[in-house]
Amino acid sequence: MINVDKIRADFPILKRTVHGKPLVYFDNAATSQTPQVVIDAIVDYYSNYNANIHRGVHTLSQEATDKYEQARIKIQHHFNAKEAYEIILTAGTTDSINRVAAGFASLLNTGDEIIVSALEHHSNIVPWQMLCEKTGTILKVIPMLEDGSLNMEAYHNLLNDKTKLVFCNHVSNALGTVNPIEVIINAAHKVNAAVLIDGAQATPHIKPDVQALNVDFYVASAHKLCGPTGVGMLYGKQEWLEKLPPYQGGGEMIATVTFEKTTYAGLPHKFEAGTPNICGGIAFGAAIDYLNSIGFDEIAAYENELLAYGTQELLKIEGLKIYGTTKDKTAVISFNVNDIHPYDIGSILDKLGIAVRTGHHCAQPIMDFYKIPGTIRASFSFYNTKEEIDVLVAGLKRAVMMLS
Ligand code: PMP
């Protein structure tokens, strides 16, 4: 059972006020807040052992290297990757996807097909479009249905022996709907296509097992997981990471360099050119430890309670429509009230200390599907409370009255 008062005490930011009101932070799908243990890990790094990694013989460098590599192992265990070197530390989900897309540019040919879902964040659309422009590969789209799920029949019909890669999010950031990634992965493998799953929204709520999923690539961002911004992970099956060429050239990713020929380092360094976000990687590991100390089953159970309560209370508001109504959802409620512009409601809520996201949530195709400019998105985390949901509902009623 979650002890929410105890958990809230771990997050210094939750004590602050906004416009004189206690902060109600419901923008967790954009970024999560940071517990003191993660802040402490950042301060400890810069206070005590700030040094470049992997190449120094001195103590500070060795300490930093050990902590950074320990973080990689924590991430490996968390996602149940077979090997630590299958975890590439990146700048985040966007960066991870771009690294894979850049690699596939040398593996794909004109007329090959790749499949995207209609529910993607722009960061899982645009890099692939850029790849298609370069290679002449054809991008096919799995259509979505009214409830925010994917049209799986259409997906099965899209797959054929020209399909080389399928990419889809585990959970939609705009709607919170959970996609049937097991089915997506197994069906893709039947035609020998690789699969990349964007776990940016899933990982704060679900602990994925990349071996059980048999997924080829799984990507996520630390900042959605109570970690810092600018760091994330790319899990890739060893066989795929070996097939892909290096992403960037530079220090750290080489074995030997002469002007005639350079040979590349093995995994994971082949994909980690330059000085990485050392402190960020270490803090990512601390964030994973923190979340596991609470427990993902406990987190999911509590957030589901918040989702059920929030859905029930918001639907009491006349004219409120929720987008994304599948049974299997994480704690995200995306909605509009009548035809009031989401931005106007969001601005009034901010004056009341309530942080929600308004707009297209970097998923314009979903908004086009519903023929709306955007939604208001309230996304809950395990440190939120039902009382805060009551504050949102009261604030929303006030905003609707002012704007109607
Ligand atoms: N995919 C999804 C589903 C997301 O929610 C996000 C972040 N909103 C991203 C990708 C991009 O993550 P980042 O900005 O951390 O690279």
* Pair 10, 120 in one domain: no
**Cβ < 6 A, ligand 1 pocket:** 92-94, 121, 123-124, 169, 173, 198, 200-201, 221, 223, 362
Residues 400 and 345: beta-carbon distance below 8 Å: yes
Residue ranges making up the domain that contains 215: 39-292
How many angstroms separate the Cα of 242 from the Cα of each of 238, 255, 333? 6, 15, 40
Sequence-ordered alpha helix ranges (H) in 114-237: 126-135, 152-158, 181-190, 210-213
Q: List the strands of the sheet with 332-337, edge to edge.
A: 320-323, 332-337, 375-379, 357-359
Sign of the dihedral defined by the CA atoms of residues 320, 367, 149, 386, in that order: negative
- Has residue 134 got a pLDDT over 90? yes
Say if residue 49 is in the same domain as residue 111. Answer: yes
In this predicted structure, what is the pLDDT of residue 55? 80
Residue 108, pLDDT score: 96
The pLDDT score that the predictor gives to residue 252 is 85
Give the rounded percent of residues in the chain with a pLDDT score beyond 70: 100
- Tell me which residue of 347, 400, 342 sits closest to 370, measured CA to CA: 342
Tell whether the model's pLDDT for residue 251 goes beyond 90: no
Number of domains in the chain: 2
Q: Which of 235, 258, 292 is the last residue of a domain?
A: 292
Domain termination site, one of 238, 261, 292: 292
Atom of ligand 1 nearest to the CA of 224: 15
**Claim to verify: residue 149 and residue 257 sit in the same structural domain:** yes
Measured CA to CA, the distance from residue 296 to residue 216 in angstroms comes to 23
Per-residue model confidence as pLDDT tens digits over 48-70: 999 999 988 999 999 999 999 99
pLDDT in tens, 200-221: 999 999 999 999 999 999 999 9
CA of residue 119 to ligand 1 center, whole Å: 13
User: Mean pLDDT over residues 220-234, rounded?
Assistant: 98
- Here the CATH number for the domain that contains residue 135 is 3.40.640.10
Q: Ligand 1 center to residue 117 CA distance, Å? A: 15
Mean pLDDT for the stretch of residues 6-30: 98
Averaged confidence pLDDT in the chain: 97
Q: What pLDDT is recorded for position 1?
A: 87
Establish whether this prediction's ipTM goes over 0.95: yes
Q: How far is CA 329 from CA 129, 305, 334, in A?
A: 28, 12, 11
Structure tokens at 253: 């990713």
Q: Tell me: do 251 and 363 sit in the same domain.
A: no
Average pLDDT over residues 218-236: 98
Whether residue 375 contacts residue 312, with contact meaning beta carbons closer than 8 Å, is answered with: no
List the catalytic residue out of 132, 168, 226, 362.
362
Which of ligand 1's atoms lies nearest the C-alpha of 92?
A: 16
pLDDT at 52: 95
**247 and 367, same domain (yes or no):** no
pTM (predicted TM-score): 0.98
Substitution site in 173, 175, 223, 226 for ligand 1 pocket (most atoms within 8 Å of beta carbon): 173
Res 119 pLDDT > 90? yes
Sign of the alpha-carbon dihedral angle for 201, 340, 391, 357: positive
